[in-house]
Amino acid sequence: MSRHTRTDRTDLALLSLAAGGAVFGALIILGSRSELLLIAAPIGAVALMLAARRPLVALGIMVAIEFTNLSGLLAERSGIPIFQASLLLGVVAIGLALRDPELRSRINGWTVVCAGLLGVYVATQGIALIGSVDPVESAAALQRHVIDCAFVMVVLILIQLTARPWAVAAVIVVTLAAICSLTIISQVFFDGTATFGGLSTVTTASGELVTTLRYGGPLPDSNFWGRHLVMGLPMAAALLTRALRSRQDVTVAGWGSALLLLLGGIYLTQSRGTFLAAGVAIAVWFVAVEPRVRRWALILIPTSAAVLVVPGVGNRLIAALEDFLQADVQTDIDPSVAQRLAAQQEAWAMFAERPVFGFGPATFPGEVINFAGRVPTAVREPTNAPHNLYAELAAEAGWVGLIGWAVVILGFLAVVVLGILTNPLSRDRVLAAAVCAALVAWSVASIGLHMAYFRTFGVVLALAGGLAPAWPAAAEPLRQLIRGALAWGLAGLLGLGACWALLSASSSAAVTVRQPMTVVPAGAVDGWYAYALDIRSRVELLPTFATLMDQRGSSVDIVADPVRGVLVFTTTAPSVDAARDDIRLAVAEAETSLRSSIGYQQYALQTVGSMRVFDVQQRSPLATIAAVAVGAGTTVAAGLWLLRAARRRVEPTVTPPQEATPVP
């Protein structure tokens, strides 16, 4: 009795202290201009303390806040520090929960391991800060990284204290499905005009061949919203599988509806990267689950093929592939693809200049002006983000940053896989497989997106840590994990070797020569000359001239670059002399075609700089495809063979019992 009384008095004192502190904080941060905020502050503080007394409630609130981007939605409108309050809620909940010895015993060595993985990433960013070209901006970025990683650790500890990873997955799926339902309602009934308080945002980017408005949910960009959704997709599949096993029709209907809503939300993003990442998520989930569930993949293969004929999916993916294959022809490709290519080329150029430590965290926007004119793809308005997480890490932190991020991703994946190997028949395996799929899908989607909303991804990292096996890890599953990693690593090297050998055998040394040209007005410098220059600056003129000058059957390609105002004559030949002769012949034929089309008194070709020569390996596209296929096949075959060989070596040899010899 006295213990409960003492606990109640302590909680009452904490509630009073929280209310007083909230009023003081409201006066300092928000001022006394709004009496309503002064009244709401202590009420919110008391509610925070009440939620903190229940770690599962606090954990659910933190997860929901991140996946709804509530801090971003309300910060601009009200100035209320939602994220800070959420982090405080988690810290207080941990402090209150640790008073219980049983809960305290759930904090184990995996907590330290996960903290070490995040610490490696933060340390690599700190190393990159030392030589940053903008120390102030890099220091601010490093501070954000530290705070975000601290948030991930708070969520991880709460998952360990509550031991309810399924509840976290349920909160993620319910939150995402609810927002997807709002986007569907907005599209079907309101033509995108209803934003529902910012939870159903229609992005300004239109895109090529889109069939609906592009919805970003609570985010301003549909691509980032799609990266959130692909993390929830395998978790919805895991929850549906669990409900099917429990044979509860209502639960099955609920999680089945959530899965359909997520698919609808993914479609309304109209994001090609999201479509591909969603397919990867489902594929990885089926690979990681037990064989009983894996059989359903055979049934879903025709369904996945049928998805490609849905308007806005297959045709957009094919168009994106064509744009990437024709990236040099910058006038008839999707502008968003051109911007992404230019940004990624700038990032890799930065990496080539500083490959070890990079230019420093968060320095890419400031370096765009220095590299935009040095890359092949030119755009009128260069973006200030690299649109590729790995190019961003390479540009800003070099090899050090890439290694640090690889430690995080591979480390958390190893923790989940170790849990599966420790107890392969566990009912939590479908959730562990979903977490693996979410991590891989997010990583795949990040090929076209930069680092943003890390805390949302951090919730999935924390969930991965919460699915770790009992500490300390058993020796045999750990050895099995190491053998698997070594086997697939060696198989990957063999696959790369096979691919490289085939590419080398099917390629020949050659040179690529580029000669920039431009068109200048003919005649004296007068009013007509100025008018002709103005006409030349229009974006349609140079592509039109390139089409007129292009000779059918010629080995020289003429690519218009209206941003830089040049026509680039490009050819590949066995030697520099042969390439130079081809360029000169193409220039002469182009000038003839130009004069025959518009006469002698309009424009004339003029050289811009000297020829640029690059050593290349010439091969046919079919040879490249064959080499990639052989490399992938070699990797899979070698990996399976090495795993089987490793299992045979560790299996104990059982000697059959010998028949007893009768004694005479």
pLDDT one-digit tens code per residue, 417-474: 999 999 888 888 999 999 999 999 999 999 989 999 999 999 999 999 999 998 888 8
- The residue to which tokens 């184990």 are assigned: 108
The pLDDT, as a whole number, for residue 450 is 92
* Residue length of the chain: 664
Q: Tell me whether strands 201-202 and 603-607 are parallel, antiparallel or unpaired.
A: unpaired
- Which of 497, 487, 486 is closest to 641 using CA atoms? 487
* Cβ–Cβ < 8 Å for 288, 419: no
The whole-number pLDDT of residue 656 equals 46
Q: Between vectors from CA 390 to CA 274 and to CA 485, what angle results, nearest 5°?
A: 90
What H or E segment, with its residue span, contains residue 216? strand 215-217
For residue 655, the model assigns a pLDDT of 45
pLDDT of residue 116: 96
Q: Which of 281, 301, 597, 620 is nearest to 436 (CA)?
A: 281
Tokens at residue 97, please?
């929960």
Task: Please give the DSSP secondary-structure letter assigned to residue 662.
Answer: P
Q: What's the mean per-residue pLDDT of the chain?
A: 84
Supply the Cα-derived Rg of the chain in whole angstroms. Answer: 30
Q: Are 118 and 149 in contact (CB under 8 A)?
A: yes
DSSP 658: P
Beta bridge partners of 345: none
pLDDT at 404: 96
Other beta carbons less than 10 A from residue 247's beta carbon: 8
Kindly report, residue by residue over 208-254, the tens digit of the pLDDT: 677 788 899 999 999 999 999 999 999 999 999 999 988 888 999 99
Percent of the chain beyond pLDDT 70?
86
Take residue 279 and report the two structure tokens written for it. Answer: 């397919």
| Topology of the domain covering 509-618 | Alpha-Beta Plaits (3.30.70)
pLDDT tens readout for residues 328-361:
555 566 677 788 888 999 999 999 999 999 999 9
Question: Which of the residue ranges 106-110, 333-337, 480-484 would you say has the lowest mean pLDDT?
Answer: 333-337
Write the single-letter amino acid at 18.
A
The DSSP secondary-structure symbol of 70 reads H
13-23 confidence digits (pLDDT tens): 555 554 455 44
Return the residue matching tokens 């994220």.
83
Count Cβ atoms below 10 Å from residue 597 Cβ, excluding itself.
12
Report CA dihedral (63, 73, 76, 31) to the nearest 10 degrees: -60
- For residue 275 the two structure tokens come to 């479509």
- Report the run of H or E that residue 568 belongs to, with start and end: strand 566-573
Give the pLDDT of residue 130. Answer: 94
Q: For residues 533 and 440, which has the higher predicted lDDT (pLDDT)? A: 440
Please state, in angstroms and rounded to a whole number, the distance separating the CA atoms of residues 376 and 566: 12
pTM: 0.87
515 phi, psi to nearest 5 deg: -125, 110
Q: Is residue 202's pLDDT more than 80?
A: yes
Q: Is 613 helix (H, G, I), strand (E, B) or coil?
A: strand
Q: Which residues contact 193 (CB under 8 A, 6 or more apart)?
A: 186
* pLDDT cut 90: percent of the chain above it: 42
pLDDT greater than 80 at residue 2: no
Residue 343 neighbours by CB under 8 Å, 6+ apart: 368, 382, 383, 385, 386, 387, 388, 391
Q: What letter would DSSP give residue 381?
A: S
CB of 275 within 8 A of CB of 266? yes
pLDDT for residue 286 is more than 70: yes
φ/ψ of residue 514, rounded to 5:
-125, 135
Provide the phi-psi class of 565: left if phi over 0, else alpha when psi is between -120 and 50, else beta. Answer: left
Does residue 321 register a pLDDT over 80? no
Identify which of 446, 413, 447 has the alpha carbon closest to the alpha carbon of residue 432: 413
513, containing H or E segment? strand 508-521
Residue 636 has pLDDT above 50, yes or no: yes
Q: Which residue would you say has higher pLDDT here, 310 or 225? A: 225
Element (H, E) at 251: helix 249-269
Question: 260: Cβ–Cβ under 8 A, 6 or more apart, which residues?
Answer: none
Q: What are phi and psi of 23, to 5 degrees?
A: -65, -45
pLDDT of residue 662: 42
- CA distance linking residue 498 with residue 383, whole number of Å: 38
pLDDT at 415: 94
Residue ranges of domains in the chain: 2-102, 110-473, 474-507+627-647, 509-618
Distance between CA atoms of residues 618 and 512, nearest Å? 9
Q: Is the pLDDT of residue 30 over 50?
A: no
145-173 pLDDT per residue, tens: 999 999 999 999 999 999 999 999 999 99
